[in-house]
Amino acid sequence: MKIARFLILIAFIGSGVCSATLESCAQEPKSPAEEKPKAPAEARAYSGMYSFLKDGEFVQLTVEDNGSVTGFISRYGNGDSDKGAFLDQFFKTGKLEGNKLTFTTELVHGVSFDFQGTVERGGGKSPGDEAYFQRKGTLTENVSDADKKVTSRSKPVTFKMFPQDAAPAPTQRQ
C-alpha cells in the first residue's frame, strides 16, 4: 500500500513538472527588453563606487529595494571659480529597472549630469574585484551660463566598479 501511494505521488509530481515544462516550452523567448526585473538583493549588488571621467573622480551608487537609486558624483570643478575644487553632486532622480539605469544630478556651479545606460558584468572575476560590474551608456553634461542658456554635450561612457577593498570600511555602531 505504501508503495502504491509513493508511485501515485511520484506520478502526480511528474505530471506537474511535465506540464510546467510544456507550458514554458510553448512560450516564445523573451527579448532582453522584456526580461523580468532583477530581484532586490541582486539589484543591490550594483551598489558601490564607480569610476567617473578623470582619475580621482567617482560615482557612489546605492540601489534601494524599490528600484530607486540614490548617490552622488564627486568630481573636480572645471569652471573659473571652482577649477580643481572637489565638488559633490547628489542625484536629483535615479531609477534602476532590470539592468537599465538612469539618473540626473542636481545643478552645482552651473553643471548637471544625466546618465542613461545599463549596469552589467565587467571584466572582474569575482565580486569585490575591480570592474566586476560596469555602467555603460550615455553621459550628458549640461552647462548653464550666466544668462541661463544651457549647453549639453553627450558622450558614450563606461564606468567600472572600484574593488570592494577600495571602498571605505563601514563603521560599526555599538
pLDDT in tens, the chain (174 residues): 444 444 444 444 454 444 444 444 444 444 444 444 454 566 778 899 999 999 999 999 999 988 899 999 999 988 777 888 899 999 999 999 989 999 999 999 999 999 999 988 988 888 788 888 899 999 999 998 888 899 999 999 999 999 875 444 454 555
Classify 167 as helix, strand or coil: coil
0.85 surpassed by pTM:
no
Residues 6+ apart with CB under 8 A from 52: 58, 59, 73, 74, 75, 159
13: its cell numbers: 509530481
Q: Is the dihedral of CA 121, 123, 126, 132 positive or negative?
A: negative
Residues 6+ apart with CB under 8 A from 120: 99, 133, 134, 136
